[in-house]
Structure 1
């Protein structure tokens, strides 16, 4: 089974980082698409009312990510994290369309709990996943919605496998290669938080929605900074 590892340098910079990991095997990512689309629309409309008078960039849950992006050299205004991008679109009532049940579910959770959430097709991952800083010689990758492949910049935070990056600038934009599609049957979802409050309720809610709408065999875990024993 593919694992998600976090480089020690990431923990050194963000000791409060929490990653909620959900692996789903043998599920149907198409059957309940109409239902998840309706659920997503309802959540989008509710959140649009909540943030209508808010400045998205100043929300505490967004500000944490803006500071993290600045730390690794990405300008948040140009490269908003996935949560900020989603909330900005919702505020303008440019609601992201429903895509497939698993993507709809992680957008629902992202909006309800105000955390970045993403996912990858496990069948398209080579080796394990790693959250780390990019090096000088990263392979070019084709990101969703972009016309040409580009390499991550040295020092930016990326998720990668043995082939290369699967998501650039932490959670800014993912690769075309590993995206979730209607034919995906095995997947990994990752919820991220830089705040001290436990991510466990959010993780449990994600598992419940995946179980309700997709089925399959589900395994979840909460990854936090490892505690090193004293020698």
Structure 2
């Protein structure tokens, strides 16, 4: 899957500073939130950036560039920081949400077994289909999609139900999305921290990574 994921040139033209770190994790055992993941969430909450942080502002600017209103449909890390204390979902989601807040970095998690074809980040044509939770995207909107349709709208605003990580998920792809002023070094550090937490959850997990941009 990693080698087939791509970012469309129309997205690169919109934000030349965009980069994405992909972490593939195969063969893990997920489960309900526990004391470990609650500690990760609490520690991340204590380190959360202010809402006017330059990393969050960069994402708001990116949303405006394709016609979205970030005060109505917020970038994922903006919305997450507003939800203090961080909600408990399940072990794996708690892990990547804690890394997201700690680094002020949008992170998505997708169930690989529910994908149809490779993931790609594109600007919508208006013909794409999405589930009822997402609603169909507008032309020009930045979306993640696969062969079956949209998996995440407005870059990282909201994920669809079909590919959502649940307690039954065993194979996943994690999407860590960077804009300046975040450095590529910090992006790599966030990815390494996520891999460490996945190994704590499930020592037998097998991981691989790829950076685009």
| TM-score using structure 2 length | 0.91
Give the corresponding residue for 1:223.
212
SS at match of 2:67: coil
Q: Is the 8 A contact 1:134 1:158 kept in 2?
A: yes
Q: Tell me the residue number matched to 1:208.
A: 196
Number of residue pairs the alignment of both structures matches: 208
- Tell me if structure 1 keeps the 8 A contact 2:44–2:99: no
Match of 1:83 among 61, 74, 77: 77
CA contact (8 A) 1:19 1:191 kept: yes
1:129-168 matches, cutoff 5 A? 129-143=119-133, 150-168=135-153
1:97, distance to aligned residue in structure 2 (A): 2.0
Task: Please name the residue that 2:105 is paired with.
Answer: 115
CA separation in 2, counterparts of 1:167 and 1:83?
A: 14
Residue 154 (structure 2) pairs with residue 169 (structure 1)? yes
The residue that corresponds to 1:66 in the other structure is: 60
Quote the residue 2:16 is aligned against: 15
Cα distance in 2, alignment partners of residues 151 and 137 from structure 1: 8
Instruction: Write the distance in 1 (CA, Å) between the matches of 2:157 and 2:67.
Output: 13
CA RMSD of aligned residues (A): 1.7
Instruction: Choose 1 or 2 for highest CA Rg.
Output: 1
- Confirm or deny: 8 A CA contact 2:32 2:89 kept in the other structure: no
What is the TM-score with the length of structure 1 in the denominator? 0.85
Q: CA deviation at 1:43?
A: 2.3
Return the alpha-carbon distance in structure 2 between the equivalents of residues 150 and 115 of structure 1: 25
Q: Does 1:102 align with 2:87?
A: no
**Is the CA contact 2:21–2:177 (under 8 Å) kept in the aligned structure 1?**
yes
- Secondary structure in 1 matching 2:180: coil
For residue 202 of structure 1, report the CA deviation from its aligned partner. Answer: 1.4
> Aligned residue for 1:43?
44
- Classify the secondary structure of the residue corresponding to 2:82: helix
SS at match of 1:159: strand
In structure 1, what is the Cα distance between the partners aligned to 2:93 and 2:38? 10
Distance 1:107 1:33 in 2: 14
8 Å Cα contact 2:110-2:172 kept in structure 1: yes
